[in-house]
Amino acid sequence: MTEMGRAAVYLGVGQPFEIREYPVPEPEPGAILIKITMATICGSDLHMWRGELDLVNHVGLQLPAIIGHEMTGKVAKLGEGVTTDSAGQPLAIGDRVVYRYFNPCGRCPACLRGEDAACGMNLLFPFKSVEPFPHFTGAYAEYYYLQPNQTVIKVPDDLTDEMVAPVNCALSEVIYGLDKVNLRFGETIVIQGAGGLGINATAVAKDMGANKIIVIDGIDNRLELAKTFGADEIIDMKEYKTPEERMMRVLELTEFKGADVAADFVGIPAAIPEGVSMLGQGGRYLEIGNISPGRPFELDPSALVSGNKSIHGVLYYSDEALKQAIDFLSRTKDKYPFDKILAKSYPLEQINEAFEAQDKGLVSRSAIIP
Ligand SMILES: [Zn+2]
Ligand SMILES: [Zn+2]
């Protein structure tokens, strides 16, 4: 009898996930079958669920599909020829792994330049219809089919699933993004938004040697968490209510020089002109939060020209950033309470409840245990 695996299938905006079963695939040469042990719900999954991010119309996603991209698991089956992870470490059945949920083509101008995070295939690849082989191309399921050449990194035993499940999205992207805007030792950074991305960015900026980290949010427990993760100053939006007040506060906190780097982890277009207004001479702005198309913002371009400021957009990350993320966690796991970012776990069957709870803001990041 064919072995079957369960999946929470996404049927479209406004529809509940449905649990269905599909044949467990045999890996082709170079591929790996992974038994997922934990998946997490990312802000972008919520955007899809709410209908703010329509991948069906945007990139032609075929439904039904398994969505979700943040996950970790164990090697269940190794395809022929696979003996190591992407860093050259020996890999065997039962090993815990994290992996990129996208697979750059390796045959386009961006990949050729060594900028495979910008590969056009990244957007098209992640989720496919669940019907054809290999079925399991998303996180909310029992299995995940890792394509040949898809980046995979072994997880050391001293890191928990709670720590590593969101690593292939939030943490890796933050590490890559802060490198892209060239955050340097001794610089000042403003972090807009203390959700999963912002909290990770706070800890990474600290580790990179930022001199002052200023975190902006309006929710008390997020601000508290930011402090635990290394924020030197917080700006509470309940106290500093307008963009002008917040900009003035950043100026005060930077001896009226402005920040060297500011970064959007909010996902609201208005955060961009506000963040740019907080930059000093030569400042760099990192845009990560706004992933949903069709929501423009207004900016006086002279704000960039004056002082040679720049905006750098980042989606996805390099294969190296995934390894750096795991190494960073190993190095700092006793310093920061990474497992506190995750609030609650749900079995796969309760995925609809998990999305509702996170949508209402009852939990900051929920985990799905298939
Ligand atoms: Zn994500
Ligand atoms: Zn490419």
Query: What value does the mean pLDDT of the chain take?
Result: 94
DSSP letter at 196? H
Of 284, 313, 342, at which residue does a domain stop?
313
Contact 7, 130 (CB under 8 A): yes
Q: Are residues 200 and 338 in the same domain?
A: no
The rounded Å distance from CA 78 to ligand 1 centre is 26
369 C-alpha to ligand 1 centroid (Å): 17
Q: How confident is the model at residue 262 (pLDDT cuts 50, 70, 90)?
A: very high
For residue 221, the enclosing domain spans: 171-313
Whether the per-residue pLDDT at 335 is higher than 70: the answer is yes
Which ligand is closest in space to the CA of residue 166?
1
In a domain, 323, yes or no: no
Q: Which amino acid is at 325?
A: A
Mean pLDDT, rounded, for 67-80:
97
CATH code, domain with 267: 3.40.50.720
pLDDT of residue 54: 80
**Would you place residue 104 in the very low, low, confident or very high pLDDT band (cuts 50, 70, 90)?**
very high
Q: How far is the CA of 115 from the centre of ligand 2 (A)?
A: 8
Ligand with minimal distance to 43 CA: 1
Report the separation in Å between the CA atom of 184 and the middle of ligand 2, taken as the mean of its atom positions: 29
Specify if 232 maps to a domain.
yes
Dihedral sign computed on CA atoms, order 12, 15, 21, 27 = positive
Distance 157 CA to ligand 1 centre (A): 23
Global pTM value: 0.94
Same domain, 10 and 125: yes
Residue 53's pLDDT is what?
Answer: 79
Q: Which ligand is in closest contact with the Cα of 125?
A: 2
Residues 145 and 29 in one domain: yes
Residue 333 and residue 337: Cα distance in Å, rounded?
7
Q: Give the contacts of 288 (CB within 8 A, at least 6 positions apart).
A: 173, 174, 177, 197, 263, 264, 265, 313, 314, 315
Q: Does residue 213 share a domain with residue 276?
A: yes
Same domain, 175 and 303: yes
> What is the H or E stretch that residue 311 is in?
strand 310-313
Pairing state between β 32-40 and 143-146: antiparallel
Q: Is residue 321 part of a domain?
A: no
pLDDT at 59 over 80: no
Residue 163 included in any domain: no
Regarding whether 184 and 153 lie in a shared domain, the answer is no
Residue 70 Cα to ligand 1 midpoint, Å, equals: 6
Tell whether 72 and 204 lie within a shared domain: no
Write b or e for each residue in 187-204: b if 16 or more Cβ atoms lie within 10 A of its Cβ, otherwise e: bbbbbbbbbbbbbbbbbb
Q: Is residue 115 part of a domain?
A: yes
Cα 108 from Cα 44, distance rounded (Å):
26
Using a 10 angstrom Cβ sphere, with 0-12 exposed, 13-18 middle and 19 or more buried, the burial of residue 325 is buried
Is the domain of 306 the same as that of 351? no
Residues 96 and 201 in one domain: no
Q: How confident is the model at residue 105 (pLDDT cuts 50, 70, 90)?
A: very high
To which H or E segment does residue 224 belong?
A: helix 220-228
Compute the distance from residue 114 Cα to the ligand 2 centre, in Å: 9
Q: How far is the CA of 307 from the centre of ligand 1 (A)?
A: 33
Burial class (CB in 10 A: 0-12, 13-18, 19+), 252: exposed
Distance, CA 23 to ligand 1 centroid (Å)? Answer: 26
> What is the mean pLDDT of the segment spanning 197-207?
96
Q: In 36-118, which residue ranges form alpha helices assigned H by DSSP? A: 43-50, 55-59, 109-112
Ligand closest to the CA atom of residue 115: 2
> Is 42 inside a domain boundary?
yes
Average pLDDT rounded to a whole number, residues 17-24 = 98
Q: Which of 285, 313, 341 is the last residue of a domain?
A: 313
Residue range 83-103: mean pLDDT, rounded: 97
Is there a domain that residue 320 lies in?
no
Q: Which of 324, 357, 331, 320 is CA-nearest to residue 342?
A: 357
Q: Which ligand has the minimum distance to the alpha carbon of residue 120?
A: 2
Q: pLDDT tens digits, residue range 286-332?
A: 999 998 888 999 999 999 999 999 999 999 999 999 999 999 999 99
Ligand nearest, relative to CA of residue 172: 1
Q: Provide the pLDDT for residue 125.
A: 58
DSSP 235-289: EETTTS-SHHHHHHHHHHHTTTS-EEEEEE-S--TTHHHHHHHTEEEEEEEEE-S
**pLDDT at residue 77 greater than cutoff 80:** yes
Q: Which two tokens stand for residue 357?
A: 């709870």
When divided into structural domains, the chain yields a total of 2
Q: What's the rounded mean pLDDT across residues 196-212?
A: 96
Domain CATH code at residue 344: 3.90.180.10
Same domain for 34 and 122, yes or no, is yes
Structure letter (DSSP) for residue 181: T
- In this structure, the answer to whether residues 349 and 220 fall within a common structural domain is no
In a domain, 319, yes or no: no
Q: Among the bound ligands, name the one nearest to the CA of residue 149.
A: 2
Q: Are both 210 and 128 inside the same structural domain?
A: no
